[in-house]
Copies of this chain bind each other. A is one copy, B any other.
Amino acid sequence: MIKQNIYKPRREQIYDWMARENIAMIMLEDAEGRRDSNIRWLTGQPGDALLFLSVGRKSLLVPWDVNIAGIYADAEHIRAYSTFDRMPVKACKKAAEFFKIPAGAKIELPPETSYPRFLKFIEALGGFDTLCREDGVFPELEHFRAVKDSAEIALYRKAAAITNDLIDSLEKLLRQGKLKTEIDAAAFIDTESRRRGCEGTGFETLAAGPSRSFAIHAFPAYSGESFGGKGLSILDFGLVYAGYTTDVTITAARDPSRPQEKLLSLVEKTAKLALSRAKPGTPAVQIASAVDEVFARAGKTMPHALGHGIGLDPHEGPAMRNRNDNQWILEPGMVIALEPGLYDPLLGGCRLENDILITKDGAEVLTRSRIIRL
């Protein structure tokens, strides 16, 4: 019952757009190497599948595993992928027949469709006007998804509560000296999250002790190296609750040197600055450039973007990067990870990442990451 209430109105938004834009059918694909969580957003199906939406306001879901679809998915029609010999081009052609799409009508493919595959679709869909473009329905989906609905915000409150619970426990364990290695820290996150009902983690948990925190993303993500000892340790993780991931980073600092303390205080300062600027109507690029300016005045450079939206994907709209092509304006309902960080080959790295919800007149901080001085 809940499934229908959530997913159908989302598809209705897309059907409206299709009618306006005169698009007869849209194909989406979620497959190895071509992940697309739009299918989960539109139907609830969490795994490999194709999805066809018809301007006649009907959907056809083609899952790899029909048993999983039976549990999770809401769509007007469901057919096993094996029905189409697991061939996307064939499934697309059959879907057009199924929906009685008239010759010459527009069929839209994902903008990530490769050039060689696009040629095959065009050949198979000879009678139709087949589109593959970056300014079609997919940026529309990205904008719809960037503004979370009330069901999504409720899930985020739940995900954030579990995340905060683990942050508090982590701090306690660190102060008690009970987390010795990167493996200990990551294993705590990976097991305790699931014990508390999370589906999993939004990305591989990243635990980098003082010897490895200099890298933006340590490689490997975690290892047997010590964690929480003298210097700077970074722990970056996200908990997935009913599909939605948080994304937080804690830095643990033990006996920081003066140059290390300078990194910490700059990062804390920019985190506060970014939060104070986050409100509806503000261009995302303005916030990102304000932070970059503070770092620049201190002679430092942040080697990555200030943040990003989060949702079913660990990186989604709005972009929070300081680049001319960033056109995003903050709106109520957006859920954003802000993650100022500085990295030095000798001093190590420091990052502070929290998730915020843009509200009517500002921002609500959902998570409680902090720099933990041991």
Contact = CB atoms under 8 A, between A and B. Distances in A.
Chain A facing B: main interface SS: loop
B194 A223 contact: yes
Interface stretch (A2-10, A210-218, A228-236, A246-254): A210-218
Contacts of A64: 216
Given A113-B115, A114-B114, A187-B190, A195 B224 contact: yes
Contact of A200 (B187, B191, B204): B204
A35 interface: yes
22 contacts: A32-B315, A47-B217, A47-B219, A64-B216, A65-B215, A67-B343, A82-B303, A111-B116, A112-B114, A114-B115, A114-B132, A115-B115, A115-B132, A116-B133, A116-B134, A194-B222, A194-B224, A195-B224, A197-B224, A200-B220, A200-B221, A200-B222
A257 B113 CA distance: 47
B67 A214 contact: yes
A118 interface: yes
Interface in A320-365: 323, 343, 345
A17 interface: no
Nearest to A35: B33
A165 interface: no
Contacts of A194: 183, 220, 222-224
Interface in A174-201: 183, 187, 190-191, 194-195, 197, 199-200
Given A114-B112, A219-B68, A187 B183 contact: no
A72 interface: yes
A311 interface: no
B32 A67 contact: no
A307 interface: no
Nearest to A71: B219
Interface string A279-306: 0000000000000000000000001000
A46 interface: yes
Interface residues of A, number: 47
- The residue in A33, A115, A183, A191 that gathers the most chain B C-beta atoms within 10 A of its C-beta is A115
B72 A219 contact: yes
Interface string A9-46: 00000000000000000000000110100000000001
Contact of A46 (B47, B195, B219): B219
B112 A111 contact: no
State the 8 A-B residue pairs at the shortest beta-carbon distance, nearest first: A199-B220, A115-B118, A115-B132, A116-B134, A187-B191, A115-B115, A112-B114, A183-B194
Contacts of A111: 114-116
A315 to B, nearest CB: 7
Contact of A183 (B82, B191, B223): B191
Contacts of A115: 111, 113-115, 118, 132
Interface in A65-115: 65, 67-68, 72, 82, 85, 111-115
Given A114-B111, A116-B134, A345 B190 contact: no
A197 to B, nearest CB: 8
Contacts of A35: 33
Nearest to A240: B220
A313 to B, nearest CB: 10
- The residue in A35, A72, A190, A345 that gathers the most chain B C-beta atoms within 10 A of its C-beta is A190
Given A65-B217, A112-B114, A116-B133, 12 more contacts: A65-B215, A67-B343, A68-B215, A115-B132, A187-B191, A190-B190, A194-B220, A194-B223, A194-B224, A200-B220, A200-B221, A200-B222
